[in-house]
Structure 1
Amino acid sequence: MKRFSGLNRAIFRATQPAAASSISANPTHHRILQTAPYSSSSSSSPFNSRFLWHHEIVNHSTHWSRSAAANGVAGTMLFSVAASTLAEEVHAKELPPAKKFNDVVLYQYEACPFCNKVKAFLDYYDIPYKVVEVNPINKKEIKWSDYKKVPILMVDGEQMVDSSEIIDKLFLKIHPENPDSSLEWRRWVDNHLVHVLSPNIYRSPSEALESFDYITTQGNFSFMERITAKYAGAAAMYFVSKKLKKRHNITDERAALYEAAEKWVDALNGQKFLGGSKPSLADLAVFGVLRPIRYLKSGRDMVEHTRIGEWYSRMESEVGESSRVMEQK
């Protein structure tokens, strides 16, 4: 009955003078959305760099094959417009393909850029997910897994690891017909951008402590676990960041960060996003890894001294609210 009523409404609209033009001028837009392995380590410290950085719509088409015997052309045109309008209405009511995921659980560190890269994808595609905050010292929350880094994403009982591989698998499930066209820039995120972040986030003891404040509010940790993680972790990462700075030949942390931000803006080539009118997977990757630093001192400095702020604001709007499901305590 709903489809029949919709068809009646469509035929009625098709008989109105402005119907044809309004249909073609206002296509329905759907949020069929679009969007690395950072394994540098310091064997001399338990807080090595992995400590923080581990990491259809159905194309509904209706074809009417029979032509009317009398007034065939006019009748066919009328029915074609009506059927097109009905298809558009039904199309708009389809559940987003992301709804095919029933139980999604992310094991993460709140400040980890790779975890945030996965969250940016989940948020953009409106995939509901639960979060388990992993204690970065004893990692007791992931003792069940042979994989001892984060992120770990459990999707309907299937374990997925490594942020880039997680996103590839999810994207393929949502868009099996659309290959990723931004792979080169996603590799740039994994192989360059993330290496610039650590020396900036932990540039000074005060900045290192600022970044570890998250542990005081995230996760089901005891008071002593929080204090230990915050102060011991911040101190360790301050020294690790100096080693990473040297390893990646970074002489000026902020200059390297600003250069990376400008390089990304240049890649947009005047477009809203690298993907054009909508974010690509590379847009989501850059946004994801920058999100944990955006409101830290390093992120504030980056926005103040580069052109990346407008793009970041557009991405905040596109990604929208978090899809995280808060569990009842």
Structure 2
Amino acid sequence: MFPQMRRAAGLAAVRRAAGGIASADQHHRLFQAALFTSSSANSSSRSHWFSYNGIAGDKVATHAVFGTMLFSTAATAIVEEAQAKETVKFRPKDVVLYQYEACPFCNKVKAFLDYYDIPYKVVEVNPLSKKETKWSEYKKVPILMVDGVQMVDSSDIIDKLYTKVNPGAVTDSAEESEEKKWRRHVLLTLIIWVDNHLVHILSPNIYRSISEAIDSFDYITTMGNFSFMEKMSAKYVGAGAMYFISKRLKKRHNITDERAALYEAAETWVDALQGRDFLGGAKPNLADLAVFGVLKSIRYLRAGQDMVQHTRIGDWYDRMENAVGVSAGFRE
């Protein structure tokens, strides 16, 4: 695809993600922290990665003016202070992540925890019985327990963790320059692109065919402490269900060719880098972590392997793996 066509596709994606006008109350806290989050109105779509009711969600709203920005131009505007990987003062005693291995929103939380070297225990949730989270009224993933306090919804989790990892980083927006306010709004728009566009491309790719769906669930079920019968049930029943759901999602999100849509999104992201190692410049920023976390969920599945083989995103992904470092997560 020619660069001009990719940029046009990126613009269309940003327009779709940023359509509408958001209230100041909805985005005030997110705007201040410049986190990779979206409106809570979209939370229902983010957590149902293995929900057999499908993955649905309202459009996330933000300022309509962002729909007129080229993706790469917007990306250039937010290259400012990068979030350096460093030892942070926030050291909770007990962190437990309840997740699905292939869930992009769970991987987004893990990317944040890994980058900031916050140790955490991983509990793989059975996608059929969900017995591991019976204790919680919240029936989706990710669920993060931090010293006994439950956090839910990937964006809200990261929002809360960010304020603990970077105390004092959240300032009153009224005290900021207009330029910095604009940059923060642009960053929010780009992350909405991740949650409202990039994520919706993944399921049709992971479960594109019955064989790919089975391969995906075979990978997923190796990560948890499931019995043989639980593995077989999740592998074949889950794969069959998600294969048919992915077809509905493909139609819902107007995807004609799932692989082409995945490649286009990957190339759009690479174009946004404009030759930099990371969107944040010399080091990853929160947008880099968001895209990396989402794509990590498919990297070693057939769809992810194809993506790296047929697009230019592999070099950036390798740099992100090195920057994020060894996972701080562990399993018992």
- What TM-score comes out, normalization by structure 2 length? 0.70
Q: What residue is the counterpart of 1:146 in the other structure?
A: 137
CA positional deviation for 1:280:
1.0
Is contact 1:212–1:233 with CA below 8 Å preserved after alignment? yes
Q: What residue is the counterpart of 2:127 in the other structure?
A: 136
**Gap runs ≥5 in structure 2:** 1-34, 57-85, 171-182
Q: 1:158 to 1:257 in 2, by over 3 A?
A: same
Q: 1:287 aligns with which of 275, 292, 296?
A: 292
CA distance in 1 between counterparts of 2:45 and 2:101 reads 19
SS at match of 2:330: coil
SS at match of 1:255: helix
Q: 1:47 to 1:138 in 2, by over 3 A?
A: same
Is contact 1:117–1:287 with CA below 8 Å preserved after alignment? yes
SS at match of 2:256: coil
Are 2:263 and 1:258 equivalent residues in the alignment?
yes
**Gap runs ≥5 in structure 1:** 1-33, 52-94
Is contact 1:215–1:229 with CA below 8 Å preserved after alignment? no
Are 2:231 and 1:226 equivalent residues in the alignment?
yes
SS at match of 1:100: coil
Greater RCO structure (CA 8 Å; 6+ sep): 2
Are 2:148 and 1:157 equivalent residues in the alignment?
yes
CA positional deviation for 1:326:
3.6
CA distance in 2 between counterparts of 1:300 and 1:38 reads 28
Q: What residue is the counterpart of 2:206 in the other structure?
A: 201
CA distance in 2 between counterparts of 1:38 and 1:249 reads 21
CA positional deviation for 1:282:
1.1
Q: 2:322 aligns with which of 308, 313, 317?
A: 317
Deviations 1:149-169 (A, max 9, x none): 000000111111111111111
CA distance in 2 between counterparts of 1:312 and 1:46 reads 28
CA positional deviation for 1:46:
6.6
CA distance in 2 between counterparts of 1:132 and 1:314 reads 27
Q: 1:170 aligns with which of 161, 170, 173?
A: 161
CA distance in 2 between counterparts of 1:147 and 1:98 reads 29
Q: 2:302 aligns with which of 294, 297, 301?
A: 297
- Which letter does structure 2 place at the counterpart of 1:224? M
CA distance in 2 between counterparts of 1:163 and 1:118 reads 6
CA distance in 1 between counterparts of 2:126 and 2:195 reads 24
CA positional deviation for 1:38:
5.8
CA RMSD of aligned residues (A): 2.4
Please say which structure displays the higher CA radius of gyration.
1
SS at match of 1:160: strand
SS at match of 1:249: coil
